[in-house]
Amino acid sequence: MDERRRIALLYGGKSGEHEVSLQSATSILRNIDLDRNSVVLIGIEKSGMWRLQSDDWIERVRTSDVTVTIDSDRPRVFAIPAAGLHVDDGTHIPVDAVFPVLHGTFGEDGTVQGYLECGDLAYVGAGVAGSSIGFDKALSKSLWMQAGLPCVPFVSYEVPPNGPTGNWLTEIEEQTRLAFGPTAIFVKPARGGSSVGVTRAESSAELADAVRHAARFDSKLVIEPEIKAREVECSVTGNSSPQAWAIGEIVPRHGFYDYRAKYIDEDGAALIVPAQLDHEVSITIRETAVRAYRAVDCHGLARVDLFLDDGAGEIMLNEINTIPGFTRISMFPVLCRELGLSYPELIDAVIDLAIEQKARIDSLEYEYPAEGSE
């Protein structure tokens, strides 16, 4: 009998980061310990449709440098409330845990997490609340401020239903200047990733353009003053007692760490691991990362991104990513490996955490005892 854990790798997704997910999934498939785990592949098309993929991918990905894709003529898959994953002919797909390696919308934002939760499935990463708060730059920063954690100041606006137009834009500019003065400004979609829709603006014309641009990607915006500081990132894993791993630094070569620097221009940014930091500073960053993780109710794993102003000796939280880029050479796994946790061990560790978290949820009571029965 196959005693291995059966893991559903859920990848692709209805997200601008669909292709990034294919890379992460390929890397997991190539490196997961197949003595401990067996894998079933479920690809989510850009339309949002779930499809069971052929097991042949496992051999192909592990013996060549091919990237996994999604075959759309395969059977559909869905989760049935309280009954797990099924193929559309009714066949049950028994799994011990789902690994949603989905970046961005409909994957990292709590929607898929809620769906899996209804299906009574264990899954890797943050739950519904942690995912949706972590994905929303305004909500996460609000909770960090409430927890007394240092973070980038911001204002947030809901874009009117008729779009970002005349009076509303003028008002936004006035309020932004009132809040932050005549400094350069960053405008971003509140819920996005991969720097999509993020623009730096100086003049009022640039600010209006930046707001209009961000509003194409989300109905809620976050506006911040430019922080002139080093960009550092810290991996955190765990459920009730999270642990911070090493700290890395991003050094963008031109301007800021935009989409181009992340995925197109190979020399767009240098990733330095470990970041060169004073011992005291690195302790503060790691402690802050763990507190930030807890404050937004994270479980499993997350990468916490911060700014570090060496001169002022100040750190500020920027954002948290609950399903960070997860290829073998992505920052998250590299920071874990730096402190001794290899990539295959990390994959096993986050699956263990998923199963632990599910057992915790299952141990809770969901009914009041009938009167007089206790």
Ligand X SMILES: Nc1ncnc2c1ncn2[C@@H]1O[C@H](COP(=O)(O)OP(=O)(O)O)[C@@H](O)[C@H]1O
CB-CB neighbours of 55 under 10 Å: 12
**Three-state DSSP state, 116:** helix
Single residue of 96, 209, 226, 265 touching ligand X by CB under 6 A: 226
Residue 4 or 257: which CB sits closer to ligand X?
257
Query: Shortest approach of ligand X to residue 257 CB, angstroms?
Result: 3
**Three-state DSSP state, 2:** coil
Alpha-carbon distance 37 to 3, whole Å?
9
Q: Rule CB under 6 A: which of 303-362 touch ligand X?
A: 305, 318-319
Give yes or no for residue 39 binding ligand X (CB under 6 A): no
Using CB positions, name the residue nearest to ligand X.
Answer: 257
Q: Supply angle C-alpha 22, 28, 31, rounded to 5.
A: 140
Residue 231 or 348: which CB sits closer to ligand X?
231
Residue 27 or 140: which CB sits closer to ligand X?
140
Length of the chain: 374
- Tell me the β-bridge partners of 308: 230, 315
CA 231 → CA 203, 256, 272, 308, distances in Å? Answer: 25, 10, 11, 6
Q: Residue 158 has which token pair? A: 């809901």
Q: Rule CB under 6 A: which of 146-205 touch ligand X?
A: 152, 186, 188, 192-195, 198
Q: Are 2 and 35 in contact (CB under 8 A)?
A: no
Query: Shortest approach of ligand X to residue 197 CB, angstroms?
Result: 8
Give yes or no for residue 227 binding ligand X (CB under 6 A): yes
Give yes or no for residue 102 binding ligand X (CB under 6 A): no
Single residue of 108, 136, 224, 348 touching ligand X by CB under 6 A: 224
Alpha-carbon distance 309 to 58, whole Å?
45
Q: Please choose, out of 30-38, 115-123, 225-233, 285-293, the segment that lies near ligand X by the rule CB under 6 A.
A: 225-233
Query: Shortest approach of ligand X to residue 229 CB, angstroms?
Result: 8
Residue 108 or 117: which CB sits closer to ligand X?
108
Contacts of 276 (CB under 8 A, 6+ apart): 249
Q: Are 59 and 84 in contact (CB under 8 A)?
A: no
Q: Rule CB under 6 A: which of 230-259 touch ligand X?
A: 231, 252, 256-257
Residue 122 or 152: which CB sits closer to ligand X?
152
Positions that interact with ligand X (CB under 6 A): 152, 186, 188, 192-195, 198, 224, 226-227, 231, 252, 256-257, 305, 318-319
